Structure 1
Amino acid sequence: MQRQFASAQASAGISIASRHVEAGTYRLPRAHHYRIMVHASVATRTYCNDAGRYFVRRAGDIDFVPAGQEGGFEAETSFDTMEVRLSSAMLEGVASEVGSSAAARRFDTRHLLRDVRIEHLVRVLENDDNASSPSGALFAESVGVALAVRLLALDGLEIDRTVRLSDVQLKRVLEYVDAHLHEPLTIDTLSRVANASSSHLRTWFKAATGMTVHRYVLRRRVERARSLILGGDLSTSEVAYLTGFAHQSHLAHWMRREIGQTPRGLRRTR
């Protein structure tokens, strides 16, 4: 997924790249351009050194780093992000047009913004860049102008406050699932962990992670089983037991569906 910034769009003062970032330190050094990052992975747990606390980044969360400032965080797992670079000249030109010439110099680094318009504009730019015949600099410039106008109103943005699981609630659920994969995990149990009703957990969990609770638990069980098979000498029945599957066939069925491999196939490639 790692791609270079598009030259046609860069000539218009705006460029975009889709990035796959491995777990660890994600650092954005000081630059002459403005950067907008739209998170494209589900439930990535990160640690912010500046704030001194953990955050859970969800798909659609936005990080904004103005020109001359730096940003970054520590990610516990790999993740995907869309990064837009907006030139200072473009943003300051738009600011002058709308009568806010000083606004571009008052930006601060912002994390975990939720704004439907910014997310939509970034995805429009990404889709055009992915097309075999992108619309070129004129289209990219129009998207850049729209982004600049939205960013100039950043302090007054109505952030999406749709009711959802808090970072603390989601973290509790994710950690509980990982610690109890070998046990039965029901909606009722997890709703008590999250301190939410069963119906709300179903809705909010899918909104936060992009998948149902059931599918998330299955995926984590398969990931754990894959790790155990590749990293040790446990039998398939032992792996099935330790990851909450009823029997070997049950494990093999879901491994084939989730990762396209069976325990036997994995052992052959080890």
Structure 2
Amino acid sequence: MHRLGMHFGSPVRADCQCGGERMRRVQKPGDIDVVPSGVGGSWEDDADCRILRLSLRPELVDQVAQDLGMAAGTAQLVPRLQLRDTRIEAIGWAVKADLEAAVPSDPLFIDLLANALAVRLIETASGRSAQPQCRTVPQLPARQLRSLTEFIESHLDQKLLLADLAAVAGVSATRLKTLFRNSAGMPVHQYVIRRRVEHARALLATTAMPASEVAAAAGFAHQSHMASTMRRILGQTPSEIARQARS
């Protein structure tokens, strides 16, 4: 696995060796080490430290590189010590927040984070943007967008994965992120969450289904997950929606 470590605790002094490079440093929050698959290393700290450790399958990085139009085998990651990168750091904080949340995010959100991380690692390894420059704003053709949204609608009660949605749309997972956002005006995982919320609201307002069954039918992890998501997006709880429908 390709491995990353992002420091998020108090600063500590560290003696690091990786891929033939040695660095003595003060390790601060946001410092990132990148260790490619097959590369070893050692880290010695002079105090307890807190590190968020992430792993990526090499196959994912290779697939993302191909999605970006790079020749097979050209996306070679290199060891990096004390890398500072705002985009990788933002992904790290998002993963950390998800790990600490009472209810984990939809797998689709984690898929998107992994894809974004792979893209950024490829960019930092190559020293240039891996995203192709385009004068126009690319979008999904109307037919493909309709097929994808219909698929999402009919599978709201199931776990939706980025690879499955990309296959339905007929594009790569990496391209789907940009094309869907340009076409629908929001990231695909936000669209799915909003459709789950709207489906749940409709069920609460028009049926006598218990809230726990509504949550399952709309694809939420459980009733509390549905309630917190609806409160965040709609400003209402499931019980308030059901009560308004009966009044």
Compute the TM-score of the two structures, normalised by the length of structure 1. Answer: 0.43
> Using CA pairs below 8 Å that are at least 6 residues apart, which structure has the higher relative contact order?
1
Compute the TM-score of the two structures, normalised by the length of structure 2. Answer: 0.47
